[in-house]
C-alpha cells in the first residue's frame, strides 16, 4: 500500500505551519504527512479550522508571512523539496507545475481585468507567448471549460459573469499551463448545488484528459466519494486517517471519521429521531488538549488518549490511522474515560 | 462608454445652474446697497440711481438673472470697477492660466509623492520607512499653507538662495508655491493609498495572482495598485478643487498674480463684478475637473453602474 517515491508526484512529510498572533502561536498544521500519486486524486477532509486550506497554501508557500510560517517539514514535488526553493523558483512553479483553484469565485478574480487577460497572464509568464498568442490560448481555454461564446466572454469582466462561470474561468486559469498538480480548495462550496455537480464533473473530465494529479480539499464527503482515490481526514491540524476512498466509506477506523460518516444524512433510510452528531466542539486552537486532540469528544477514549498523542501508524490492512485503538497498547488500558465538557 | 461621458456632461447642467444662481444671488444677499457701494462713497443720489439703472438692479430679480446668464454664456461677465476692463479679459489674459498651472503642478507633485509614499508604506507595513513616511504625512497634513510657504521661502530662498522669493515667470518661481499647495494633498493621497492598498493586498484575487506565479512587482502594480487607485482618484479630484481655494493664500504669500490674489484684491476694493466673475470661473473649473474624475473613475472601475 505504501507508495514508492517514483509513483508519487507530491509527498508532504511532517509539515508544520503556525500562525503567530498576539494571543500566541496557532499550530494550524501540526505534522501532516500524505502523498499524491501521478494522475490520482487525494481528498483532504475535515471541519473548518482543521488546517486543510493552510496545508494547501503551505505547499505553494502562499502564506502571508510573517504571521503565517512553515516551521518544519518537507514538500517533495517530483523529488525536490519546495520548501528549499528560492522565491524565483517558486514563482516558476506556481501556476505552471502546480496550480490552485480557490473557494470563492466571486472574490478570487481581479475585478479590474478581463477574464481573458487573467488567463493570458499566466500563459504569458510561463509559456513566454506573445500577447496575441496568449489571448488566443485563453479563448481556447474558456472554450475547453465549457463557456459559451468564449471570444465574447474573454473580453468581459468578472462581475459580468455568474458564480459558476467565474469558477470555470478560475479552472481555465489554473489549467492554462497544463499543470502536473492541481490543488482545488473547496472549489464548489460557494456554488449552487446544481452548479456544484457541473464544476466537479468538469474538473474530473479535464483531470482525466490532461493526466493531472489532483488534491481536492473539501468538507463534503459526497465530493470525496465522487472524486477521490485516497483520502486524508484532518482534525486540529493533524491527519487522523489516511486511506483508500473505499476503505474510508466501508471500514472507517478513526472514531472521528466514523463520527463524520454517521452524521451524513442517508436518503435511503427512514429518518427516525435526530441525526447522529459528534458531541462537544472543536477545541480552541490556542488551547489544544494534551494527547489526542479528539479525545475529549471521543466515545471510546481511555486514559492514554488524554495523556499521549498516538502516531499515524499503519494498520493491518495498510491504511494509516492516528488512534490508540489500533495499537497493541489498547488492550492493556482500562475502561473508557469520558471527559466531555 | 461614450454614452456615459455624454450623460455625465449633461448631468453638470443642473450643477452649473445652481452655481450661477448662487453666484448671482451673492450680489443681492450681501448687506448694503450694491449700487451705493459701487458708485463710491462720495456719490450723490442721482449717481447712485444712475448706477442702479446701469446695473439693471431696478428690473425684477428673475430678469436680472436671465440677463446675467445670457451675458455669461456669451463670455460677458461685466466690467471691473477697479480697472474698468472686462472681467473675462482680467481673468483669462494671464491670471487664470497662472493659477491653473500652479494647481496642476501642485496636483502632479501631490500625486507623485503621495502615491510613492503610500505604496512604500503599504508594502512595508509597520517598517521604519512606513512609520516615518506616515509621520511626515501627518506633519504635512497639519501644517497651515501660509506657514509652510513662509518657512519654504525662509529656508530655500532667503538662506539657501535656490529659488526666487516671490513673483512669477520661470519654472523656478513655480517650485515653492507648488510644493506649498501640494503638500497637504500629497499627505492625504499617501494615507489614502496606504490604507486602500493594504485592504486590496488582503483580497482573494491577490492570492490568486501569486498562485499564478506573478512576480511581487506585478502583483503590487498591476493587481494591487489598479484596484487601490479607485478611492484615491476621488481624493485627487477633490484635492484639485481644494488647491484652487488654497491658491488664494499661497498666491498672496508668494506674491503670484493668479486668481486667488485677484479675488483678495477685488474683495478689498469692493469690485463685485470681478469677485462674482472669478468665483464663477473657479466653480465651473471645479465642476469640469470633477466630471473628468468621474469619467476616469469609470475607466478604472468597470463595476460602476452605467445607468
ipTM (interface pTM):
0.87
Q: Which of B205, B215, B300 sits opposite A108 (nearest CB)?
A: B205
Yes or no, beta carbons of A121 and B203 under 8 Å apart: no
**Is the pLDDT reported for residue B252 higher than 90?**
no
Distance in angstroms between the alpha carbons of the first and the last residue of chain B: 11
**What does the alpha-carbon distance between residue A238 and residue B215 come to, in Å, rounded to a whole number?**
32
B58 and B198 housed in the same domain: no
Chain B interface, best mutation among A54, A93, A98, A108, by max B CB count within 10 A: A108
Q: Are residues B18 and B152 in the same domain?
A: no
- Candidates A110, A114, A172: best to mutate against B (most CBs of B within 10 A) is A110
A50: number of Cβ within 10 Å: 26
Segment of A222-226, B267-271, B293-297 carrying the highest mean pLDDT:
A222-226
pLDDT band at B262 (very low <50, low <70, confident <90, very high): confident
The answer to whether residue B60 scores a pLDDT higher than 60 is yes
Beta carbons within 10 angstroms of residue A277's beta carbon: 9
Final residue before a domain boundary, out of A178, A213, A235? A178
Q: How far apart are CA A239 and CA A234, in angstroms?
A: 4
Q: Which of B248, B244, B237, B234 is nearest to B289 (CA)?
A: B237
**A292 occurs within a structural domain:** yes
Residues B107 and B200 in one domain: yes
User: pLDDT of A152-207, one tens digit each?
Assistant: 999 998 888 888 889 889 999 998 998 999 999 988 887 888 888 888 898 999 89
- CA A111 to CA A209: how far, in whole Å? 30
Select from B24, B44, B73 the last residue of a domain.
B73
Instruction: Give residue-wise pLDDT tens across range A285-315.
Output: 888 888 888 988 888 888 888 888 888 888 8
Mean pLDDT throughout B170-193?
88
* Residue B36 pLDDT exceeds 80: no
Tell me the β-bridge partners of A313. Answer: A321
Q: Residues B170, B56: one domain?
A: no
Among A123-127, A200-204, A221-225, A261-265, the range scoring the smallest mean pLDDT is: A261-265
Residue B81: which residues within 8 A CB-CB, separation 6 or more?
B38, B269, B270, B271, B272, B273, B274
Answer whether residue B88 is part of any domain: no
* Chain segment A134-147, per-residue pLDDT in tens: 999 999 999 988 88
Same domain, B60 and B201: no
Say yes or no: B141 and B258 in one domain.
yes
- d(C-alpha A110, C-alpha B60), whole Å: 59
List chain A residues with CB under 8 Å of B205.
107-111
* Pairing outcome for strands A41-45 and A68-77: unpaired
Q: Tens digits of per-residue pLDDT, B43-59?
A: 788 888 887 787 777 78
Whole-structure pTM value: 0.79
Residues of chain B positioned with their CB less than 8 A from the CB of A67: none
**Of the residues B42, B73, B104, the one at which a domain ends:** B73
Of A291-300, B111-120, B137-146, B169-178, give the lowest mean pLDDT range: B169-178
pLDDT of residue A339: 59
Contacting B residues, span 207-236, partner chain A, CB-CB under 8 Å: 207-215, 222-223, 226-227
Q: Which of residues 246-285 of B touch A (CB under 8 A)?
A: none
Contacts of A126 in chain B (CB under 8 A): 213
Burial class (CB in 10 A: 0-12, 13-18, 19+), A24: exposed
Highest mean pLDDT among A149-153, B243-247, B267-271: A149-153
User: Residue B30: is its pLDDT beyond 80?
Assistant: no
B149 and B270 together in one domain: yes
Q: Give tens-digit pLDDT for B212-238.
A: 999 989 999 889 988 888 888 888 877
pLDDT at res. B303: 63
**Residue B32 covered by a domain:** yes
Tell whether B60 lies on the interface with A, counting CB pairs under 8 A. Answer: no
Q: Cβ distance B80 to B271 under 8 Å?
A: yes
**Residue A306 belongs to a domain:** yes
In a domain, A38, yes or no: no
Question: B82 lies in a domain?
Answer: no
B120 with B19, same domain: the answer is no
Confidence of residue A269 (pLDDT cuts 50, 70, 90): low
Q: Is the pLDDT of residue B33 over 80?
A: no
Highest mean pLDDT among A91-95, A218-222, A328-332, B58-62: A91-95
Question: Would A263 be classed as within a structural domain?
Answer: yes
User: Is B57 a domain residue?
Assistant: yes
- Residue B184 three-state SS: helix
Q: Does residue B98 share a domain with residue B57?
A: no
Q: In the prediction, which pLDDT does A338 show?
A: 61
Instruction: Tell me which range, A38-47, A273-282, B29-38, is most confidently predicted by mean pLDDT.
Output: A38-47
In a domain, A300, yes or no: yes
In a domain, B84, yes or no: no
**Rounded CA gap, B298 and B3, in Å?**
12
Whether residues B101 and B64 fall in one domain:
no
DSSP-based three-state secondary structure for A271: coil
Q: What is the count of residue pairs from A and B with beta carbons less than 8 Å apart?
A: 72
User: Range of A130's domain?
Assistant: 104-178
pLDDT at residue B78 in the model = 81
pLDDT of residue B307: 37
Mean pLDDT of A271-286: 79
Arithmetic mean of pLDDT over chain A? 87
- In chain A the first and final C-alpha atoms are separated, in Å, by 38
> B205 falls in which pLDDT band (50, 70, 90)?
very high
> Is the predicted pLDDT of residue B151 greater than 70, yes or no?
yes
Judged against a pLDDT cut of 60, whether residue A103 lies above it is answered with yes
Residues in chain A with CB shorter than 8 Å from the CB of B301 are 111-112
Q: Which residue has the higher pLDDT, A240 or B1?
A: A240
Q: Which of A26, A46, A44, A48 is nearest to A34 (CA)?
A: A44
Residue A253 in domain = yes
Closest chain A residue to B227, measured at CA: A112
The answer to the question of residue B80 being in a domain is no
pLDDT of residue B306: 45
Reply yes or no on whether the pLDDT at A340 is more than 60: no
Q: Is B111 contained in some domain? A: yes
Mean pLDDT, residues A257-266 taken together: 85
Same structural domain for residues B209 and B283?
A: yes
The last residue of one of the domains, among A149, A178, A207, is A178
Question: For residue B281, what are the domain limits?
Answer: 94-300
Q: How many CB atoms lie within 10 A of CB A124?
A: 19
How confident is residue A115, by pLDDT bands cut at 50, 70 and 90? very high
SS3 A74: strand
Residues of A with CB under 8 A from a CB of B: 60, 62, 91-96, 99-100, 102, 104, 107-113, 121-122, 125-126, 157, 159, 170, 173
* CATH number, domain containing residue B126: 1.10.3720.10
- Residue ranges of alpha helices (H) inside B82-143 are 87-90, 96-123, 128-142
Domain count of chain A? 2
Q: What is the mean pLDDT of chain B?
A: 84
Among A178, A197, A232, the domain boundary falls at: A178
Judge whether A95 lies within some domain.
no
- Number of domains observed in the structure of chain B: 2
Residues B56, B64, B79: CA angle, nearest 5 degrees? 60
Q: Note whether residue B134 is domain-resident.
A: yes
- How far is it, in rounded angstroms, from Cα A125 to Cα B158? 54
Asked if B71 reaches chain A (Cβ–Cβ under 8 Å), the answer is no
Same domain, B147 and B272: yes
Amino acid at each position: 500500500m505504501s507508495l514508492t517515491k517514483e509513483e508519487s508526484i507530491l509527498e508532504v512529510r511532517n509539515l508544520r505551519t503556525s500562525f503567530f498572533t498576539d494571543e500566541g502561536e496557532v499550530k494550524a498544521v501540526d505534522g501532516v504527512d500524505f502523498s499524491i500519486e501521478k494522475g490520482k486524486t487525494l481528498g483532504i477532509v475535515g471541519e473548518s479550522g482543521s488546517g486543510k486550506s493552510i496545508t494547501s497554501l503551505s505547499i505553494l508557500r502562499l502564506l502571508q508571512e510573517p504571521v503565517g510560517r512553515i516551521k518544519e517539514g518537507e514538500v517533495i514535488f517530483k523529488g525536490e523539496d519546495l520548501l528549499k526553493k528560492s522565491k524565483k523558483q517558486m514563482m516558476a512553479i506556481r501556476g505552471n507545475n502546480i496550480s490552485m483553484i480557490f473557494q470563492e469565485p466571486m472574490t478570487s478574480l481581479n475585478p479590474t481585468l478581463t477574464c481573458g487577460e487573467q488567463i493570458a497572464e499566466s500563459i504569458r509568464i510561463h509559456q513566454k507567448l506573445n500577447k496575441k498568442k496568449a489571448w488566443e490560448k485563453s479563448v481556447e481555454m474558456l472554450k475547453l471549460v465549457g463557456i459559451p461564446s468564449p471570444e465574447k466572454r474573454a473580453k468581459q469582466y468578472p462581475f459580468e459573469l455568474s458564480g459558476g462561470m467565474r469558477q470555470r474561468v478560475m479552472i481555465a486559469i489554473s489549467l492554462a499551463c497544463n499543470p502536473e498538480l492541481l490543488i482545488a480548495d473547496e472549489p464548489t462550496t460557494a456554488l449552487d448545488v446544481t452548479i456544484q455537480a457541473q464544476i466537479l464533473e468538469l474538473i474530473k473530465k479535464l483531470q482525466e484528459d490532461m493526466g493531472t494529479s489532483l488534491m481536492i480539499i473539501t468538507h463534503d464527503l459526497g465530493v470525496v466519494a465522487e472524486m477521490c482515490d485516497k483520502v486524508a481526514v484532518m482534525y486540529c491540524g493533524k491527519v487522523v486517517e489516511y486511506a483508500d476512498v473505499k476503505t474510508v466509506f466501508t471500514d472507517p477506523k478513526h472514531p472521528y471519521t466514523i463520527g463524520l460518516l454517521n452524521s451524513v444524512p442517508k436518503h435511503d433510510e427512514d429518518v427516525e429521531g435526530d441525526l447522529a452528531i459528534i458531541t462537544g466542539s472543536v477545541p480552541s486552537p490556542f488551547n489544544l488538549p494534551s494527547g489526542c486532540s479528539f479525545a475529549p469528544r471521543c466515545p471510546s477514549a481511555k486514559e492514554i488518549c488524554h495523556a499521549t498523542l498516538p502516531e499515524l501508524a499503519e494498520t493491518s490492512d495498510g491504511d494509516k490511522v492516528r488512534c490508540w485503538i489500533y495499537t497493541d497498547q489498547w488492550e492493556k488500558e482500562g475502561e473508557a474515560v469520558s471527559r466531555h465538557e | 462608454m461614450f454614452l456615459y461621458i455624454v450623460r455625465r456632461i449633461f448631468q453638470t447642467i443642473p450643477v452649473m445652474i445652481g452655481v450661477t444662481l448662487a453666484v448671482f444671488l451673492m450680489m443681492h444677499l450681501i448687506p448694503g446697497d450694491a449700487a451705493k457701494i459701487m458708485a463710491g462713497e462720495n456719490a450723490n443720489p442721482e449717481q447712485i440711481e444712475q448706477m442702479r439703472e446701469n446695473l439693471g438692479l431696478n428690473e425684477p430679480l428673475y430678469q436680472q438673472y436671465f440677463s446675467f446668464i445670457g451675458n455669461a454664456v456669451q463670455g460677458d461677465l461685466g466690467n471691473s470697477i477697479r480697472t474698468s476692463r472686462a472681467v473675462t479679459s482680467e481673468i483669462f489674459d494671464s491670471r487664470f492660466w497662472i493659477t491653473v498651472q500652479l494647481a496642476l503642478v501642485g496636483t502632479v507633485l501631490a500625486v507623485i509623492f503621495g502615491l510613492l509614499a503610500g505604496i512604500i508604506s503599504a508594502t512595508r507595513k509597520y517598517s521604519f520607512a512606513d512609520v516615518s513616511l506616515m509621520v511626515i504625512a501627518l506633519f504635512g497634513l497639519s501644517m497651515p499653507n501660509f506657514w509652510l510657504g513662509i518657512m519654504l521661502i525662509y529656508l530655500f530662498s532667503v538662506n539657501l538662495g535656490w529659488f526666487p522669493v516671490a513673483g512669477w515667470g520661470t519654472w523656478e518661481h513655480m517650485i515653492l508655491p507648488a510644493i506649498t499647495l501640494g503638500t497637504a494633498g500629497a499627505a492625504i493621497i499617501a494615507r489614502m493609498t496606504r490604507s486602500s492598498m493594504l485592504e486590496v493586498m488582503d483580497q482573494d484575487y491577490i492570492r490568486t495572482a501569486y498562485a499564478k506565479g506573478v512576480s511581487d512587482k506585478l502583483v503590487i502594480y498591476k493587481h494591487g495598485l489598479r484596484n487601490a487607485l479607485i478611492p484615491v482618484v476621488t481624493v485627487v479630484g477633490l484635492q484639485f478643487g481644494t488647491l484652487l481655494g488654497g491658491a488664494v493664500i499661497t498666491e498672496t504669500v508668494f506674491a503670484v498674480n493668479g486668481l486667488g490674489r485677484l479675488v483678495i484684491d477685488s474683495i478689498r476694493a469692493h469690485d463685485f463684478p470681478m469677485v462674482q466673475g472669478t468665483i464663477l470661473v473657479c466653480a465651473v473649473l471645479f465642476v469640469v475637473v470633477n466630471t473628468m474624475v468621474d469619467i476616469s473613475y469609470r475607466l478604472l472601475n468597470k463595476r460602476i453602474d452605467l445607468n
